[in-house]
Structure 1
Amino acid sequence: MTPTRHGGTITATDGAAALLEDLQQALGEGPCVDASRDERPVLQPDLAATGTSRWPGFTARALEAGVAAVFAFPLQVGAIRLGVLDLYRATTGSLDRLQLAEALAFAEAASTILLHLQDKAPSGQPLHPQLAEAVDSRREIHQATGMITVQAAVGLAEALLLLQAHAYSNERSLIDVAKDVVARRLRFAPEDDHHE
């Protein structure tokens, strides 16, 4: 995570978690984004009751995926932001003291693992291969955004919004749509409806 953008998912425990991480990347909203931006945990024990006003697009899809509660913990060491650990569950309710302590311990362990991976990056490579994969996916998104600025005659911010909107409205991952743009299978023309 950067201070304002989802950097990419390093790993997800299951399909629902991967879907929700990709959704947050596509929408630019969700508990992961807020936890990273605000540098503090986001504890959402009842997504259906309160999530819609906070993250309308994310909440609808999360509920469809069977997620009832979400807890996001920023991974950082001092001022260095490494990412966010998102935990999802199918039942509503707050974390009890033991669960919260375990979640914080997992976040600390994840931070340690990320730092260890980076420390073990092969000589001559700026990132460990597992970390580089997440960064590479962002490169394709940036490249697609640049191509859309030319195709649709818009600025970078609007181009990214067009890419995100297309991914969301077609229920596709942001990276898959970006790959289609880069491969020239999808084009965004000026002032059209931006569909294939």
Structure 2
Amino acid sequence: MEFSAVVRRRRMVRNYDPDRPVPPELVERLLEHAVRAPSAGFSQGWAFLVLTEPADRELFWTATGPARPEVLGGGPSTTENDKRGPFLTRWLAGMRRAPLIVVPLADRSAYLERYAEPDKGWTERDESRWPVPYWYVDTGFAALLMLLTAVDEGLGACFFGIPGERVGAFREAFGVPGSFTPIGAVSVGYPAPDHRPSSLRRGRRPLAQVVHRGRWG
């Protein structure tokens, strides 16, 4: 597929065909492309937890799922929950059908150690030297390459967050070391019909609103 078509077709897929697993060779291609992402100082401070077995995926959803029943519409009735409950129930049902979940994790220490080497010289390993946390940025690049590869291979994918209050349960469930931080997760599979997100009604902002040429404004 032409690269421009891949970019245009990329969208967050939230429902999958549960009867079509992702072939192993495509799983490997997703990962091979992910590690081609750029990284500051070629630090490559990332890791990827790959979940293909049903029991592992079920453990993921159990560990990262909402701790509060009202999040899925089963708790106290409020205006917000009445609006969000059905959406989240449908979202979770569709996402749980994904036959593949990949969790990209960022390792800050890999960057601090890399930039303490002689060619960089930040021997004090001071995180404040970094204008932004590149360990998260670079791992995000890797996740985007997986999203684009999925489109190119005729798959669907969605990047979504792991709730902050559930990260500890996720670490414990999968034995993830404390030095690695999940930046989110990527569900992958063959797309099934799903609902058009209401957010898309906002439309894509035109270039004239977001691009500033030469100077701001």
> What TM-score do the two structures reach when normalised by structure 1?
0.22
Which structure ranks higher in relative contact order (CA pairs < 8 Å, sequence separation ≥ 6)?
2
Give the TM-score taking structure 2 as reference length: 0.20
Computing the radius of gyration from Cα coordinates, the structure with the larger value is 2
